[in-house]
Amino acid sequence: MSKFFINLILICLFGSVSGQTTQDSTALQTPKTNLKLYKIRMGFDIGNFLWAKYKKDSATGFNLDANLYKDYYFLANFGQETHLTDNNLLNYTTIGRYFKIGIGYNLYHNWLDMNNDIMIGLQYAQANFDYFLHAYRINQPGAIYPPQTIYVDEKFLNNKAKWLEISTQIQVETFKHLFLGYNVAIKYLMSTSTINNFDISYIPGFNDKNTYSNFGFGLQYFISYQLTF
Measured from the CB atom, the residue of 138 and 227 that comes closer to another protein is 138
- Least distance to another protein, CB of residue 221, Å: 17
Measured from the CB atom, the residue of 113 and 154 that comes closer to another protein is 154
- x-or-dash string of contact with another protein, 143-162, rule CB under 8 A: xxx-xx--------------
Residues paired with 81 in a beta bridge: 59, 96
Residue from 217, 225, 227, 228 touching another protein (CB under 8 A): that is 217
Q: Is 95 exposed, middle or buried (0-12, 13-18, 19+ CB in 10 A)?
A: middle
- x-or-dash string of contact with another protein, 98-117, rule CB under 8 A: ---------xxx--------
Instruction: Please state the φ and ψ torsions of residue 8, each to the nearest 5 degrees.
Output: -65, -45
DSSP state of 211: T
Residue from 118, 124, 128, 162 touching another protein (CB under 8 A): that is 118
Residues paired with 40 in a beta bridge: 66
Instruction: Evaluate the CA torsion angle 85, 90, 93, 94 in order and state its sign.
Output: negative
- Least distance to another protein, CB of residue 147, Å: 5
Closest CA to 124 of 96, 152, 104, 153: 104
Q: Does 199 bind another protein (CB under 8 A)?
A: yes
Q: Does 210 bind another protein (CB under 8 A)?
A: yes
Q: Does 90 bind another protein (CB under 8 A)?
A: yes
- Least distance to another protein, CB of residue 121, Å: 11
Question: Do 77 and 183 form a contact (C-beta atoms < 8 A)?
Answer: no
Residues paired with 61 in a beta bridge: 79
Question: Do 178 and 171 form a contact (C-beta atoms < 8 A)?
Answer: no
Interaction site with another protein (CB under 8 A): 85, 87, 89-90, 107-109, 118, 120, 136-145, 147-148, 166, 168, 184, 186, 197-199, 201, 208, 210-213, 215, 217
